[in-house]
C-alpha cells in the first residue's frame, strides 16, 4: 500500500536535520580545534586520535540499540531524548579540566547524536516512495552538513571571542533547543493498513542477525562503510593536522580548506541523493552513484600522496574528497531497499555501526602510524607518516572494490528479508 502523503519536509525531516547539524558540528569541530587541544593538554597524536575516537566509539556502540528504538518507538520520541543527551555531553566538554573529562564529554555527545542520519532514513522510509528516499535524506544531510561548515571558518573566528569552552556551551544550548523542536513538530509514523505485530524485545533485537547475514549487506557494506568512514575520519580529525603538517598551511588557510571540505560534504550529500533517485527512476542500479563516489575518493587520496601545498588546489582536492565520500544517503537507501520498511531503522544503524567501528579503528591507527616518526620542530607530525596512512586506506579501498566484484550478487531492489 502506498503511504499517505507526508505532512511536508519541514515537519518530517527538517527538525531531524537540525540534530544532524549538531552531529556534523560536533564531529568536525575537533579538526579545527584539535591542534589547540593538543597544545593545551599536551596530547600526542595517539592521544588526540583517542579523544576523537571516544566520540565515534560511543556513536558506534549506540547504533544497534538506537535502531531497535527507532523501529519500535519512532524518530520523534527517540530524537527528543537523544538531543538532551547530546546537550549534556557538550556541557561536560565545556567544563572539562583534563583530557579524561573531555573524552567522557565526547563519549556522551556521541550517544546523543547517534541517530542523526538514521532517524531521517527511518522517517523518509515511512512517508515517501522508495525512489524518493535518497533525495529526501540527501537534502536532510545537506542541511545537517551546515554544522560541519560552521565548525570551520566560523569556529576559527569565534575562538578568540569565546574560546573552545564557549563553543561547547553554545552547542549544549543548541541541543536543548533542538530537543524541544523535535518533540513539538515531528509527526509519529503514518497509519498503515497492515502492521507487523510487535514481538518481544529479544525477537526484535534478533532481526539484526538476519540483517548482518543478508547477501546485500555482506556484498555492499564493506565498500560503503569505508567510503563514509574515511569522510568521518578526516573531517572528524585528521584533515586539520594533515593540512598543517603535510600541506604547510597556517591557521586561517587551514580553516579555509576545512570550510571547503565541509562544503563538499554538503554538496555531495545533496547531489548524490538527488542523482541516485533520478537514476533509479530511470531504471539504473541504485548503487551506481556510490560506485562512482568510491572511485573518485581513491583518486583524491592518490592526489594527496603528492603533498600539494597550494591552498586553492588543496581546497579543490579536499572538496572533491568530501563530495565523493558523501554517499551516505544514496548508499544507505540502496542497501535498505533489500529490506522491509519496518526494519529501516535497524538496517541503517547496522550499516552505521559497522562504519563507525571502522572509524574508531582508523582514528587510532592513523594516530599510531604518525607516532612512528618523531615530532617536528613545530610540534606537528612527519608528512611521511600521513603518506603511509593514505597508502593504507587506499589498499583497504582496493580490497573493498575486489570484494564488490567477487561477493555473491543479489537482484537490485528485492526485499527478501
Q: Is the pLDDT of residue 194 over 50?
A: no
When pLDDT is cut at 50, 70 and 90, the band that residue 193 belongs to is very low
Residue 215 and residue 86: Cα distance in Å, rounded? 35
Share of residues in the chain with pLDDT > 90 (%): 23
Residue 37 and residue 41: Cα distance in Å, rounded? 6
Query: Using N-to-C axis directions, what is the helix angle for 251-281 and 288-305, rounded to 10°?
Result: 160
DSSP 166-233: HHHHHHHHHHHHHHHHHHHH---PPP-S--PPP--HHHHHHHHHHHHHSHHHHHHHHHHHHHHHHHHH
Residue 386 and residue 99: Cα distance in Å, rounded? 24
When pLDDT is cut at 50, 70 and 90, the band that residue 196 belongs to is low
pTM: 0.71
Residue 73 burial (C-beta neighbours within 10 Å; 0-12, 13-18, 19+):
middle
Question: Helices (H), strands (E): how many in the chain?
Answer: 18, 0
R_g (Cα) of the chain, nearest Å: 20
Q: Is the pLDDT of residue 176 over 70?
A: yes
Domains of the chain as residue ranges with CATH: 9-187+210-406 (1.20.1250.20)
Largest CA distance in the chain: 68
Tens digit of pLDDT for each residue in 293-338?
999 999 999 999 999 999 999 999 999 999 998 877 788 778 888 8
* Eight-class DSSP state of 373: S
CB 254 within 8 A of CB 243: yes
Tens digit of pLDDT for each residue in 33-51?
877 777 778 777 777 777 7
CB 357 within 8 A of CB 341: no
CB 86 within 8 A of CB 112: yes
Q: Which three cell numbers stand for residue 60?
A: 558506534
Residue 374 and residue 219: Cα distance in Å, rounded? 40
Tens digit of pLDDT for each residue in 339-377?
887 777 788 888 888 887 888 788 888 888 998 998 888
Who wins on pLDDT, 218 or 135? 218
- Predicted pLDDT at 124: 82
Residue 160 and residue 173: Cα distance in Å, rounded? 20
Residue 277 and residue 21: Cα distance in Å, rounded? 23
Q: Which three cell numbers stand for residue 131?
A: 525512489
Residue 18 and residue 24: Cα distance in Å, rounded? 10
Tens digit of pLDDT for each residue in 244-303?
999 988 878 888 888 888 888 888 888 887 888 888 878 888 888 889 999 999 999 999
Of 303, 243, 227, nearest to 32 (Cα)?
243
CB 341 within 8 A of CB 125: yes
Tens digit of pLDDT for each residue in 81-119?
999 999 999 999 888 888 888 889 989 999 999 888 888
Amino acid at each position: 500500500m502506498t503511504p499517505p502523503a507526508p505532512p511536508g519536509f519541514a515537519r518530517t525531516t527538517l527538525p531531524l536535520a537540525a540534530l544532524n547539524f549538531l552531529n556534523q558540528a560536533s564531529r568536525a569541530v575537533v579538526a579545527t580545534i584539535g591542534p589547540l587541544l593538543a597544545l593545551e593538554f599536551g596530547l600526542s597524536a595517539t592521544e588526540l586520535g583517542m579523544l576523537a575516537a571516544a566520540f565515534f566509539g560511543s556513536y558506534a556502540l549506540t547504533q544497534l540499540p538506537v535502531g531497535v528504538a527507532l523501529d519500535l518507538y519512532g524518530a520523534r520520541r527517540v530524537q527528543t531524548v537523544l538531543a538532551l543527551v547530546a546537550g549534556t555531553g557538550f556541557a561536560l566538554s565545556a567544563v572539562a579540566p583534563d583530557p579524561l573529562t573531555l573524552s567522557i564529554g565526547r563519549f556522551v555527545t556521541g550517544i546523543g547524536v547517534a541517530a542523526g542520519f538514521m532517524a531521517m532514513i527511518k522517517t523518509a522510509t515511512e512517508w515517501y516512495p522508495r525512489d524518493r528516499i535518497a533525495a529526501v535524506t540527501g537534502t536532510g544531510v545537506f542541511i545537517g552538513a551546515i554544522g560541519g561548515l560552521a565548525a570551520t571558518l566560523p569556529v576559527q573566528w569565534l575562538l578568540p571571542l569565546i574560546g573552545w569552552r564557549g563553543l561547547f556551551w553554545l552547542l549544549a544550548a543548541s541541543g536543548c533547543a533542538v530537543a524541544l523542536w523535535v518533540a513539538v513538530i515531528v509527526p509519529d509514523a503514518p497509519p498503515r493498513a497492515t502492521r507487523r505485530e510487535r514481538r518481544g524485545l529479544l525477537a526484535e533485537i534478533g532481526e539484526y542477525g538476519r540483517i548482518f547475514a543478508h547477501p546485500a549487506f555482506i556484498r555492499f557494506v564493506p565498500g560503503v562503510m569505508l567510503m563514509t568512514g574515511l569522510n568521518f575520519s578526516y573531517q572528524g580529525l585528521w584533515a586539520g593536522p594533515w593540512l598543517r603538517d603535510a600541506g604547510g598551511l597556517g591557521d586561517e588557510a587551514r580553516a579555509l580548506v576545512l570550510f571547503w571540505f565541509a562544503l563538499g560534504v554538503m554538496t555531495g550529500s545533496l547531489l548524490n541523493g538527488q542523482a541516485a533517485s533520478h537514476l533509479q527512476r530511470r531504471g539504473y542500479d541504485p548503487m551506481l552513484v556510490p560506485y562512482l563516489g568510491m572511485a573518485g575518493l581513491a583518486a583524491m587520496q592518490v592526489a594527496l600522496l603528492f603533498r600539494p601545498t597550494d591552498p586553492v588546489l588543496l581546497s579543490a582536492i579536499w572538496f572533491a574528497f568530501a563530495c565523493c565520500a558523501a554517499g551516505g544517503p544514496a548508499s544507505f537507501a540502496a542497501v535498505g531497499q533489500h529490506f522491509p520498511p519496518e526494519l529501516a531503522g535497524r538496517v541503517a544503524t547496522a550499516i552505521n555501526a559497522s562504519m563507525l567501528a571502522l572509524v574508531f579503528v582508523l582514528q587510532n591507527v592513523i594516530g599510531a602510524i604518525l607516532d612512528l616518526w618523531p615530532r617536528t620542530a613545530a610540534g606537528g607530525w612527519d608528512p611521511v607518516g600521513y603518506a603511509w596512512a593514505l597508502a593504507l586506506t587506499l589498499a583497504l579501498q582496493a580490497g573493498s572494490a575486489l570484494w564488490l566484484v567477487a561477493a555473491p550478487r543479489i537482484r537490485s531492489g528485492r526485499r527478501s528479508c
